[in-house]
């Protein structure tokens, strides 16, 4: 993350940047809990999102997040997948690749 941040900074020093790591699947790895990098006096922090800890309803507010809803904190992923499918059908009704059919 630090390396990527420095590369962007060199090309665009005036641009602000917010770094986020999104973990899609539950893991027992200690890395999923880390949100900082330290090396001597160097310190870098970033946001971490663990999808399995996120509340399912928030994924239904933005169409672009719908595919991730099934990976969220739910006891019934199949039901969530059906809900996502219905939601997409409703939102895309009459449209094909953004153009009316």
Mean pLDDT of 37-59: 97
- Per the listing, tokens 């409703």 go with 90
Under DSSP, is residue 101 helix (H, G, I), strand (E, B) or coil? coil
Nearest to 82 by CA among 93, 96, 66: 66
Radius of gyration of the chain, Cα coordinates, nearest whole angstrom? 18
Mean pLDDT of 20-41: 96
Tokens in use for 67? 């595919």
Mean pLDDT of 78-88: 94
Query: Is this structure's pTM higher than 0.75?
Result: yes
- Can you tell me the distance from the alpha carbon of 1 to that of 6, in angstroms, rounded to the nearest whole number? 9
- Can you tell me the distance from the alpha carbon of 1 to that of 31, in angstroms, rounded to the nearest whole number? 13
pLDDT of residue 101 exceeding 60: no
pLDDT of residue 77 exceeding 70: yes
Q: What tens digit of pLDDT does each residue of 6-15 get?
A: 999 999 999 9
């Amino acid at each position: 993350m630090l390396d990527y941040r420095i590369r962007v900074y060199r090309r665009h020093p005036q641009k602000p940047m917010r770094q986020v790591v999104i973990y899609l699947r539950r893991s027992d790895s200690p890395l999923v809990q880390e949100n900082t990098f330290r090396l001597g006096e160097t310190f870098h922090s970033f946001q971490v999102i663990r999808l399995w800890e996120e509340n399912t309803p928030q994924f239904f507010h933005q169409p672009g997040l719908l595919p991730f809803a099934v990976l969220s904190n739910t006891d019934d992923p199949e039901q969530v997948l059906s809900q996502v499918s219905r939601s997409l059908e409703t939102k895309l009704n009459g449209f094909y690749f953004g153009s009316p059919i």
